[in-house]
Structure 1
């Protein structure tokens, strides 16, 4: 499974039904190569862990999600789930877009803005015993169940989504965001956009820093604080993501893929690929072919 991300890091949402702003599916972390692409979206996300564990990055902070725990990720926050040790995790992932709440009532819009705006918390993490976890987990199960039927009743789905978001507002509305480590979004987006457009070339740290009009030191600090990676680590990971697509969708040789993904050496590409994914590029291609 692929998370499609635009150059500004926003996710291209793949709703269950095209004209209804809801994403709800049961996913496994292995479907994303144990490391999802860093992204954001306007929707509020509820991650309900069914089995296993994973780490989750949100706006520079990393939390560990345990079985039956619930993570509520606020709107327009940079985030991704991952497991450095490649442990499997099964979870219900639900994203509800604000457009579901379009309303001419200014008091409702104000409440939504207050709960999910930039001044509120980036995320809330609830353990399995909390009232919030039980309420949100139940909501995710109900909505996923409704959407899994052959012909879902969309009025019922919308009602349940409204109930779920009402619960999110209840919990998020009492929180205030710590703005101590906020980052100018334009700086990080410009630097990441440079990587996305020049990954196949020789990219130096100075090139990345210049794209964001920041110093090398600030470049490193922004990537570490905001993406939990160095610029070089992000560049390498992005090149690997490109190579995954080429392995799955083309008949190019490993040498050609290595070059087209921006790696200077085939041996370095293969060694890095195996270190992160636990298999060689050819083994990955074979596993993809066996699933078709």
Structure 2
């Protein structure tokens, strides 16, 4: 199942539905350039995310760090970590995405000892899973098997998946990484989410740099440093990019016009909206809308 436009709330938290209450996971195959944005936009979720790249390669960004993940490799992305992904070199990158509720990884009795410390650790927003390392190879093989089990829907597949998730977690915590806990890192991440939350609530309004800085309780200069360090973009450029993301959904409505959409998402000039859209999407909003008909 390809998810082309996964739903996020106003804080960028992903709202992907779990399959069932009994099996609190979401597992699907993603072709990055088939997403409505042409890439996987910035988001976060409470679930752990495991990724296995099946074809091509992609550049993933987790908080401030970027990493190229090639075919056969994967990622573990920790709970609450901001992340996004782009295809690299138009490779047609396809990957399996496995989101797992942390409390489903191990039993309740083992959760506090073996799971909670990893959620709270500030030095592991992600781990690069490589087939050349035994623990990484075991996790990647288990991701592939879980995806197959869900497709096959064989008897007792839920139990098999539960066993595989325990093996995944055992391999992950046996790799020997030392856990670190820095309050400053947590504080920085929370501030970033506060500013993003404010933007997503007010994107359709006039937004000034002062407004964004105030939402994060920062000065203008420190606000700019936060965005450039963590998202590699200026605050106001992020606002415009987010407005373009929101416009894609509106442009799909048959009765919408480019001018109306421009003003609905916060642009006060149709020509400026068209210019920003072209730079972001490599096409005009007119052409984008026409291609949908």
- Alpha-carbon spacing, 1:190–1:250, altered in 2? closer, same or farther (3 Å): farther
2:134 is aligned with 1:131:
yes
Q: Which runs of 5+ in 2 are unaligned?
A: none
Q: Which residue is equivalent to 2:121? A: 118
How large is the Cα RMSD of the aligned pairs? 2.4
Q: Which residue is equivalent to 1:271? A: 275
CA distance in 1, matches of 2:249, 2:128: 33
CA distance in 1, matches of 2:190, 2:124: 21
Structure 1 contact 28–89 (Cα < 8 Å) conserved: yes
- Deviation by residue 1:121-143 (Cα, 9 ceiling, x = unmatched): 11111344332332222111100
**1:146-225 map, 5 Å:** 146-150=149-153, 153-171=157-175, 174-177=177-180, 179=182, 182=185, 183-225=187-229
- Alpha-carbon spacing, 1:160–1:116, altered in 2? closer, same or farther (3 Å): same
2:73 is aligned with 1:69:
yes
Structure 1 contact 27–92 (Cα < 8 Å) conserved: yes
Deviation at 1:241, TM superposition (A): 1.0
- Deviation by residue 1:87-128 (Cα, 9 ceiling, x = unmatched): 5311111111112146442x5421111233234411111344
- Deviation by residue 1:245-269 (Cα, 9 ceiling, x = unmatched): 1012452101111111111222222
**1:1-292 map, 5 Å:** 1-17=4-20, 19-32=22-35, 33-83=37-87, 87-101=91-105, 103-105=107-109, 107-150=110-153, 153-171=157-175, 174-177=177-180, 179=182, 182=185, 183-289=187-293
- What secondary structure does 1:57 align onto? strand
CA distance in 2, matches of 1:285, 1:5: 23
CA distance in 2, matches of 1:82, 1:181: 29
Deviation at 1:178, TM superposition (A): 8.3
Deviation at 1:57, TM superposition (A): 0.9
CA distance in 2, matches of 1:204, 1:108: 44
- Alpha-carbon spacing, 1:101–1:134, altered in 2? closer, same or farther (3 Å): closer
- Alpha-carbon spacing, 1:67–1:266, altered in 2? closer, same or farther (3 Å): same
- Alpha-carbon spacing, 1:262–1:273, altered in 2? closer, same or farther (3 Å): same
What is the TM-score normalised by the length of structure 2? 0.88
Structure 1 contact 54–82 (Cα < 8 Å) conserved: yes
Structure 2 contact 33–87 (Cα < 8 Å) conserved: no
What is the TM-score normalised by the length of structure 1? 0.88
- Deviation by residue 1:49-68 (Cα, 9 ceiling, x = unmatched): 11111111111111111221
What number of residue pairs does the alignment pair up? 287
